[in-house]
Amino acid sequence: MSRVAIIGVGQSEFVRAYPGSVRELAFEGFKDAMRDARLTAKDIQASIICSAPEYDKQRSPAGVFAEYLGLNPQPTFYVESLCSSSSMGLRLAYSLVKSGLHEVVAVIGFQKMSEISSAESQERMGRGADIQWESPFGTMMPAYYAMYARAHMAAYGTTLEDLALIRVKASTYGPLNDKAVYRKPVTLENLSNPEDRMAGPVASPLRVGDCCANADGSSCVIVASEAKAKTFCQKPVWILGLGAATTSVNLAGRDLFTGLTVAREASRQAYQMAGVGPRDIDVAEVHDCFTIAEMMAYEDLGFAKPGEGRDLIRSRATYKDGSIPVNVDGGLLSKGHPIGATGGSQIRTIVLQLRAEAGAIQVKDPEIGLVHNIGGVGLYGNVSIFGR
């Protein structure tokens, strides 16, 4: 059967407050990807718009964007799975192309989170959990992941310094990423000094430096059939494996708090489909909404055994020159987290790595890359594997 490729990737700058409209924001990532793929609007046979609702006033953004981007009368779809929306959009695009319904599909992720206050944003995120039994009691994203951090520390002896080392790595590469919001270095001293803002408490044991921040941004991934890829693209990146999973929305319905079952199941599916294993991955992007999330991802993806993820960051194995480079674009901790655009940004990084076009953050000669994208507090899990 024919393969499915990514032939173009794009991303806006991730910023704290984008001055334009949501359609203009979506255009930024779309324009970048279309230039990368050297396509025009008439080449796009379908579009998939990905975001989490209620951060801006526009309802049914897919139709609005299709018109604004000049994609009518081609069909458009709207996909939402919280923070993993654009990875889920990639899964849909793959299916549309693999089935033969379309040959070229644009996956556009966006979020303009600055239109509401931080308090309102936290409330929206809280409602990504169960609105009957959890969010009315004040649970929010930092508190949820703080529970996972506490459980990991209790089970394996993980320390605050282990988590801080993940933020230090992120800030090593954030300054090299011109699309990132945060480009200033962060040191262990910053995170251990009680008078430093980065060490301020958020939800114990998580501090300011352990948490990513909201951002405005967009991303775009152009997916094509093998025939179209060979027509348009000199360096196609092939989609080798896709995995997806869900779990109980209530944390009371879960039996694991030192990892995310959706990540373990999605990675199992993706590895099986791609015919590879954790040791075959040359570079990875993982969903580091919090430092503990990256730590758990090391273990959920099989890069380390449960409880041994800390050894990877302590030994710098997840740095650019290490045995398994992870988030060498700064990750969400440096880039910021515009919910619907995040997965597409992660995919963009891996595509550029596999095309040897990543500049200062280029990993040496990667052949296989992985993207791990989580929605909500481990409610949705997507793992995607790519090959050059």
pLDDT in tens, 97-153: 999 999 999 999 999 999 888 888 878 877 778 888 888 887 889 999 999 999 999
Within 10 Å of residue 1's Cβ, how many Cβ atoms? 5
Question: Helix, strand or coil for residue 240?
Answer: strand
CA distance 355 to 9: 11
Query: Among 176, 177, 217, 214, which residue's Cα sits nearest to residue 11?
Result: 217
Q: Which of 83, 211, 233, 289 does the annotation list as catalytic?
A: 83
Summarize pLDDT for 244-288 with one digit per residue, the tens.
999 999 998 999 999 999 999 999 999 999 999 999 999 999 999
287 has catalytic annotation: no
CA distance 198 to 14: 20
| Strand segments (E) across 98-208 | 104-112, 201-203, 206-207
> For residue 309, which amino acid is it?
G
> For residue 49, which amino acid is it?
I
Long-range contacts (CB closer than 8 Å, 24 or more residues apart) made by 53-57: 53/80, 54/124, 54/127, 55/111, 55/112, 55/113, 55/115, 55/116, 55/121, 55/124, 55/339, 56/22, 56/112, 56/115, 57/115
| One pLDDT digit (tens) per residue for the chain, 388 residues | 689 999 999 999 999 999 999 999 999 999 999 999 999 999 999 999 999 988 888 889 999 999 999 999 999 999 999 999 999 999 999 999 999 999 999 999 999 999 888 888 878 877 778 888 888 887 889 999 999 999 999 999 999 999 999 999 999 999 999 999 999 999 999 999 999 999 999 999 999 999 999 999 999 999 999 999 999 999 999 999 999 999 999 998 999 999 999 999 999 999 999 999 999 999 999 999 999 999 999 999 999 999 999 999 999 999 999 999 999 999 999 999 999 999 999 999 999 999 999 999 999 999 999 999 999 999 999 999 999 9
372 has catalytic annotation: no
Residues 6+ apart with CB under 8 A from 231: none
Question: Helix, strand or coil for residue 246?
Answer: strand
Question: Helix, strand or coil for residue 253?
Answer: helix
How many helices and strands, by DSSP H and E, does the chain display?
13, 11
**Residue 314, pLDDT score:** 98
Q: Which two tokens stand for residue 148?
A: 């996972």
Contact call for residues 32 and 106 (beta carbons, < 8 A)? no
Residues 6+ apart with CB under 8 A from 134: 126, 249, 250, 251
Q: Which of 102, 287, 337, 372 does the annotation list as catalytic?
A: 337
**Segments making up each domain of the chain, as ranges:** 4-117+214-232
Q: What are phi and psi of 23, to 5 degrees?
A: -70, -35
Count, residues in the chain: 388
CA distance 58 to 67: 14
CA distance 388 to 368: 7
Question: Helix, strand or coil for residue 112?
Answer: strand
Give whole-number Cα distances, 94 to 107, 223, 225, in Å. Answer: 10, 7, 9
In CATH, the architecture of 4-117+214-232 is 3-Layer(aba) Sandwich (3.40)
Between helices 342-354 and 85-99, what is the axis angle to 10°? 60
